[in-house]
Amino acid sequence: MRLILGSGSPRRLELLAQIGFVPDEVRVPDIDETPAGDETPRPYVTRMAREKSNAIEITDGEVLLTADTSVAAGRRILGKPADEAEAREFLGLLSGRRHRVHSSIAVRTTERTWIRDVESRVRMKRLSREEIDGYIATGDWRGKAGGYAIQGPAAAFVPWIEGSFSAIMGLPLHETAQLLQAAGLSTRSAA
């Protein structure tokens, strides 16, 4: 069985390696990731993982893994900020509040698809303007759902989480390992 990672995210590649899965190939899906008008965060990430999976062709003997992660401020989906102004807006929304991080993974063979959703909760401390400015200056917000990465400098802003740390980073490792094993893959280390 060949493992195909359907994601261009370097974080997902690193996370997979932590649990002993090394993809044989990376194929990046090309889909529209715009939320539907009234779509809420959990159904959105589930739809994205499924659509990414369906957008990539696989053959017999291949196992495809796709994923999506989004930060939710209430019912609002906070995806990847388009620019610094949007990153500041997102951090302002999250400052001093608890929020949810939704991750969904899809594992597909030519015969079957498995999907698993994971919800984690994060509390961000109240951020000063200086803290937001300093974080924005690092550039770490780029390409990150909600405008922050818990594994980077923003870790200093998070006193509490409930759920899966790896899911907050973008790939729930426990659930990923379970689904890949259900699809017939076993762990292997990098050569």
68 carries an active-site annotation: yes
* Residues 30 and 55: beta-carbon distance below 8 Å: yes
99, containing H or E segment? strand 98-108
Question: Dmax over Cα atoms in the chain, in whole Å?
Answer: 53
Residue among 109, 127, 102, 123 at smallest CA distance from 48: 102
With both helix axes pointing from N to C terminus, report the angle between 173-182 and 10-18 in degrees, rounded to the nearest 10. 70
Q: Which of 24, 30, 60, 68 is catalytic?
A: 68
CB atoms near residue 154 (< 10 Å) = 22
Helix, coil or strand: residue 54: helix
Q: Which residues are catalytic?
A: 68
